[in-house]
A = this chain, B = another copy of it.
């Protein structure tokens, strides 16, 4: 069954140096438009749902290009406002082996989204048209105005009985020094409004200030996540553990905590083509599994396969179909498909 999903968040312009040159070597850039909200609504549109973004884009040719691009990704645009002249951007220099990928942000706080009039969105109207709303901790880090919009939207969702998904996604560089303390009350407010939360033990430890004496990552997880669920009354918490290997491959294992029970996916190892956006693919897999009423085991394995596959897709936004994800979940690596 096709469901209606909205996401709230900024649209970023990704400016990627093609291949493996640095910005100081190259002379052209590939551009696309992304952001957590964009990625989630793209992924779920490709899984068969009707999705829309709640955002603001500049009223100029760059904004026009962004809208066209979102349409291409399968996202609908009735709740995208157009005002201001500025868009957040990031430059991406692809890493290779011992040289990590490098992201340089530019112009983020001055963007149309982050400077939009506080009452530009009619959240109650939107809540009448959707089944799920997705929020992200990155938006929480922007400024007070956007934070207020986000909380107002989440409360409207709660009031209208709509499922609230919240991805903690704490980015240290956005909060600066003493960031965890600044961030904590906002995170706590969002967690209390949420039905599905994406996080792992590090969020519990750093952002929420919870403690455990365990030193093993998995034990920390199984100790802290139930505490979070109980404290903030969260029905579902899901996340991943990632391991980097020296041969340019990663291993990912997903988990879901629901009904006081942990379910872990099979660990999956894979080569990495485009690292960015894979966390959003995992989150979309969890949401899709819940919408389709998969078992927990099916859901985490589907989500982790969606995450693995997203590492093989150029661009931030996951565009794999359900059948592609299920093929990976069931068969792993395959020869040419003719």
Give the dominant DSSP class at A's interface. Answer: loop
A24 touching B105 in the complex, CB below 8 Å, given contacts A69-B72, A313-B99: no
Q: In the docked arrangement, what's the CA distance between A97 and B270, Å?
A: 6
Could you mark each residue 91-117 of chain A with 1 if its beta carbon is under 8 Å from any beta carbon of chain B, else 0?
A: 101011111111111110010000000
Q: Are B275 and A246 in contact (CB under 8 A)?
A: no
- List of B residues within 8 angstroms of A152 by Cβ: none
Given known contacts A97-B270, A309-B98, A335-B275, A23 and B61 CB-to-CB distance under 8 angstroms:
yes
Instruction: State the oligomeric state as a number of copies.
Output: 6
Which A17-39 residues have C-beta < 8 A from chain B?
Answer: 18-25, 27-32
User: Which residues of the other chain, B, contact A18 by a CB distance below 8 angstroms?
Assistant: 28
B-contact 0/1 string along A116-140, CB 8 Å cutoff: 0000000000000000000000000
**Quick one: closest B residue to A90, CB to CB?**
B338
Is A215 at the interface (CB under 8 A from chain B)?
A: no
Asked if A7 is at the interface of the complex by the 8 Å CB criterion, the answer is no
- B29, A315: Cβ atoms under 8 Å? no
Cα separation A104 to B86 with both chains bound (whole Å)? 10
Determine if A244 is an interface residue (Cβ-Cβ < 8 Å). yes
Partner of A100, one of B71, B107, B334: B334
Some 26 contacts from A to B, beta carbons below 8 A apart, are: A19-B314, A23-B65, A24-B67, A24-B69, A25-B315, A61-B102, A62-B91, A68-B73, A68-B74, A85-B105, A87-B106, A95-B336, A97-B333, A98-B268, A98-B270, A98-B312, A98-B328, A98-B332, A98-B333, A99-B320, A99-B328, A100-B334, A173-B338, A244-B335, A275-B335, A275-B336
